[in-house]
Amino acid sequence: MSILDKRIQLQTLLESILGSRNVYFQPPESVALKYPAIVYTLSNINNSHANDNVYMTDKNYLITVIDSDPDSEIRDKVSRIPTVKFDRHFTSNNLNHDVFVMRH
């Protein structure tokens, strides 16, 4: 499976959790987000080496659930993804942001 295929699978998973297509991968500032939303960005790449070659690559994504509801069910659903770890919460412009790190 290609790296792009894995990211498309993540996109599909997040859309199914959100129940809409308001899932954005590294959106430029010019994109007007619709809420509730999930925004995710590539945050790190971990390569495992053997015999001077990369034999395995793990990508980490920051996944941010943005919702006006401070008790968001979306946040709870994202937290149940097996490789996700909660990182932090903050509010901005009267919206709650819950940030997770995901190894993919």
According to the model, what pLDDT value does residue 86 have? 97
- Type and span of the H or E element at 44: strand 37-50
Dist. CA 59–CA 91, nearest whole Å: 27
Domain assignment of residue 63, given as a range: 3-103
The domain that holds 90 is classified in CATH as: 3.30.2000.30
According to the model, what pLDDT value does residue 36 have? 97
Q: How many domains does the chain have?
A: 1
In this predicted structure, the answer to whether residue 27 has a pLDDT above a threshold of 60 is yes
3-state secondary structure of 30: coil
100 or 3: which carries more pLDDT confidence?
Answer: 100
Could you tell me what percent of the chain has a pLDDT over 90?
76
Range 44-68 average pLDDT: 88
Pair of tokens at residue 53: 């070659």
Beta-carbon-side half-sphere exposure of residue 102 (alpha carbons within 13 Å): 25
Tell me the pLDDT band of 45, cut-offs 50, 70 and 90: confident
5 or 33: which carries more pLDDT confidence?
Answer: 33
